[in-house]
Amino acid sequence: MPNANRIDGKAKAAELSKIIAQETAELSSEHDLKPGLAVVIVGEDPASEVYVRNKKRTAETCGFHSVQHTLSADASMKDVLGLIDELNTNSEIHGILVQLPLPEQLNENLVTQSITPEKDVDGFHYENIGKLTAGDTDKAFVPCTPAGCMLMIEDQLGRDLSGLNAVVVGRSNIVGKPMASLLLQANATVTICHSRTKDLPAVCREADILVAAVGRPAMVKGDWIKPGAVVIDVGINRVEEGGKSKLTGDVDFAAATEVAAAVTPVPGGVGPMTIIMLMSNTLRAARRANGLT
Ligand SMILES: NC(=O)c1ccc[n+]([C@@H]2O[C@H](COP(=O)([O-])OP(=O)(O)OC[C@H]3O[C@@H](n4cnc5c(N)ncnc54)[C@H](OP(=O)(O)O)[C@@H]3O)[C@@H](O)[C@H]2O)c1
């Protein structure tokens, strides 16, 4: 009999969207200021196009000025850096996001680092990573996926995770590492796992908070989960089932609901929270750029 809470990221993101829209309307009426988000996409990757469409739609729902720049798949570094330069100095744009992955000829790191830290709403610039790692989260732009995961964890367990063990599976710069920094800052005792970790199931079984960010469908089994744990499934995997393609996470959701206290579904968990945190970062960037707290 399943007993876990299904953590509804979609509903929470919808609530936050209303708050952001309200704050945006106030910003507009009191300061004649509209948060501006520029999304850059290079090439025609279908998954990236879906993500970018969703981001644009949510930005518009929040009342933002939203622009999309689509460059051809054979765009050069000069083309991309030239566009970012323009956006860096455009006063109507407060947040810049370059949809990853980029085509092979482009150096992802150079592109990411060329966005001015004040407009780096994805939180990938070294300056923002440094602030996050140093515990200066009020000043940093925190990467959107871990920021969204953290809000869902706080809803379940509160803001102070003292005495709790957190295990993060995955050590990417986008998810695993910043997730671990946020958990550490909330006083959890944090273990980061990856493909070289020995006896991963045993490590996971120690977790009061288990975050899976791997990219392997249903890798985390029910018997990897400590009874009563909070499980956050970041994975997005496309799988074929009964001749149809569907999205699934890194956690065996049905099995997890038998053991955990709370689990995020895929879809409808981390994904919508990621997008809304992008809006939250953009709103903050707009305020900061105009000297407002
Ligand atoms: N919901 C969202 O909004 C959102 C946002 C971002 C990403 N995602 C999804 O989250 C997943 C992870 O994304 P990412 O960008 O962090 O991926 P990534 O850069 O490919 O990193 C994957 C991590 O998983 C580890 N790993 C791979 N196989 C493993 C195994 N068998 N056992 C233990 N660890 C293993 C890798 O270890 P090594 O470092 O040792 O190779 C790596 O650290 C993907 O499915 C992605 O689509 C979702």
- Report how far residue 131's alpha carbon sits from residue 240's, in angstroms, rounded to the nearest whole number: 41
Ligand 1 center from residue 172 Cα (angstroms): 6
In angstroms, rounded to a whole number, what is the distance separating the alpha carbons of residues 13 and 273?
5
Which amino acids bring their CB within 6 angstroms of ligand 1?
A: 145, 169-172, 174-176, 193-197, 200, 213-216, 234-237, 270-271, 274
24 pLDDT band, cuts 50/70/90, is very high
pLDDT in tens, 158-182: 999 999 999 999 999 999 999 999 9
The yes-or-no verdict on residue 115 having pLDDT over 80 is yes
Residues in Cβ contact with 186 at an 8 Å cutoff, skipping those fewer than 6 apart: 150, 153, 154, 159, 160, 161
**Cα 118 from Cα 139, distance rounded (Å):** 10
Q: What is the pTM of this model?
A: 0.97
Residue in 290, 275, 292, 291 with CA at minimum distance from that of residue 92: 290
Q: pLDDT tens digits for 193-202?
A: 999 999 999 9
Q: Is residue 151 over pLDDT 70?
A: yes
**Domains defined for the chain, CATH in brackets:** 32-115 (3.40.50.10860), 144-271 (3.40.50.720)
Report pLDDT digits (tens) over 49-106: 999 999 999 999 999 999 999 999 999 999 999 999 999 999 999 999 999 999 999 9
The string over 73-106, giving b where at least 16 C-beta atoms fall within 10 Å of a residue's C-beta and e elsewhere, is eebeeeebeebbeebeeeeebbbbbbbbebeeeb
* Nearest CA among 272, 261, 193, 198 for reference residue 17: 272
58 residue type, one letter: T
Place of tokens 């090439």: 43
If pLDDT is split at 50, 70 and 90, which confidence band does 31 have?
very high
- pLDDT per residue over 95-110, tens digit each? 999 999 999 999 999 9
Quick check: is 10 catalytic?
Answer: no
Confidence (pLDDT) at 205: 98
Report how far Cα 223 is from the mean position of its chain's Cα atoms.
Answer: 27
| Model pLDDT for residues 267-279, shown as the tens digit of each residue | 999 999 999 999 9
Please state, rounded to an integer, the average pLDDT across all residues of the chain: 97
Distance CA 217, CA 281 (A): 30
Is 252 a residue whose pLDDT tops 70?
Answer: yes
Is 55 assigned a catalytic role? yes
Quick check: 1 pLDDT over 90?
Answer: no
Alpha-helix residue ranges (DSSP H) falling in the chain: 9-31, 46-61, 77-89, 108-114, 126-133, 144-157, 176-185, 200-204, 253-259, 270-289
- Counting atoms of ligand 1 from 1, which one is nearest the CA of 215? 45
Structure confidence at residue 3 as a pLDDT band (50, 70, 90)? confident
Nearest residue to 34 (alpha-carbon basis) of 44, 24, 43, 46: 24
Compute the distance from residue 149 Cα to the ligand 1 centre, in Å. 15
Q: Give, for ligand 1, the residue of 194, 238, 251, 276 to mutate: max count of ligand atoms closer than 8 Å to Cβ.
A: 194
Instruction: Determine the residue type at 118.
Output: E
Q: Residue 178: is the preceding peptide bond cis (ω within 30°)?
A: no
- pLDDT number for residue 293: 79
